[in-house]
Structure 1
């Protein structure tokens, strides 16, 4: 007996905005079991494979290492770096870019006080960086790069950084939360079809709809390779393997017919016994 997937009506996508950076998407109808299949695939790609931008290194005037303290600055260097890591960037460059902060106290320093080059924009400009008291000064340069996923400094030990530059763990992913669930839905008289509900929340650098579209495109690109695998795969050779050489090299052993050998032996035996 041949089993086939149940035919379904044209799949539809409905979006509901939950907040500025969060949306809920409903995808239905899906063949039984496909809700979980699509949900798992989309969630994994959303969390691991979307490009984003983050600070990868920072140089702070007066701090030779991350455990230093700065005169006139409430936060120590560790706290300043942690605050810088919370900055989210809209990044339109393929090359690393440098952002600069030069402020004097008394002042509460936030993301809007950073000077960014063309193509780099801070999404959360109200993010707190440091607080300067009277006479305090904070001068720093930070490198912003594009990447995927989470890259700790341990994986970048081969990079040679100038003296005074501190490497920073980089969280590139623009996705802050992904959740999905599957439900049953009706198609005609059938009630066992799937409905996929997926919730996506971003950091504000891209919209949830852009995130869903990019993740689906990544999956499509990978599946297209598999879909064309019959054409790309090299055909197996149909030639028979060459005959193995004998132990004596290129010489061929000539075997005599069994009946001729037996006839010769019989003739010799008759001569010895005197038989005609």
Structure 2
């Protein structure tokens, strides 16, 4: 049976002005496979890559998200919305949420760089504006809970956590990929002109390189398809066969050694 040919080229064109943007070209794809591969990669890129985000916040002087704070331009709801745009890079896997503190005083714009970080946690967009203090006597005191997840999660999913009283639970955008678009062009392969050229335009939030995001998404798909095709079971059987062959070879070597010893006697 004739096999479906695989693409032979993957080209990465990074944006010189923005290192978080890249054009990824995969070619030549068998007719129809440009859309098949492109849609699968796009869905995984947007929904399945891990990332960090604010899942809850406690703001001194605020009892709920509809509260207002003295000498602060934004209300609490606006501050929470700004926190949802905070992009976080976690260098290690975390099982429990990490708590970060933000304290600011005086007339100023409070930005993400004012958050007190710890080892293993990096703020990708430090210039993100969180709130505006309008008076010299103004102050903002917050505790932020950082969690790890994939895609998008609603606040309902975090209510199982044992947060302290007065904590406002947030929706969280974990995905490190901001947007992905795909385009399919026809290219010639031999006498055929209906092969596909898959073009993916990818932008991340800076916590992951576009190429790395593509590779991780591809691995996720390979693992899922590998389970369906039974590749994991095949690998287990192959290992068993290798062990059996090794045992047989050792037994054969022992028998030959015994025969040689008998001949000497």
Going by fraction, where is helix more abundant, 1 or 2? 2
CA deviation after TM superposition for structure 1 residue 31, in Å: 1.1
Moved over 4 A (4+): 5-8, 229-232
Distance 1:70-1:231 versus aligned 2 partners, 3 A rule? closer
Q: CA RMSD in A?
A: 1.8
Give the corresponding residue for 2:263: none
Give the corresponding residue for 1:68: 67
Kindly provide the CA deviation profile for residues 16-49 of structure 1, in whole angstroms up to 9, marking residues without a partner as x: 1133211011101111111111011101111110
Kindly provide the CA deviation profile for residues 73-119 of structure 1, in whole angstroms up to 9, marking residues without a partner as x: 11111111111111101112322211111110111111111101110
Deviation larger for 71-80 or 168-177: 71-80
Give the corresponding residue for 1:124: 125
Q: Write out aligned runs for 1:106-255 (5 A).
A: 106-132=107-133, 133-228=135-230
Tell me how far apart the structure 2 counterparts of residues 157 and 124 of structure 1 sit (CA, whole Å). Answer: 27
Q: Output the TM-score relative to the length of structure 2.
A: 0.81
Q: Is the 8 A contact 2:226 2:232 kept in 1?
A: no
Q: Output the TM-score relative to the length of structure 1.
A: 0.78
Q: Is the 8 A contact 1:105 1:134 kept in 2?
A: yes
Give the corresponding residue for 2:239: none
Q: Does 1:57 align with 2:56?
A: yes
Could you say which structure has the larger radius of gyration?
1
Kindly provide the CA deviation profile for residues 179-212 of structure 1, in whole angstroms up to 9, marking residues without a partner as x: 1111111112221211111111111111111110
Q: Is the 8 A contact 1:5 1:31 kept in 2?
A: no
Deviation larger for 154-163 or 175-184: 154-163
Q: Structure 2 stretches of 5 or more lacking a match?
A: 235-265
Give the corresponding residue for 1:15: 12
Give the corresponding residue for 1:239: none
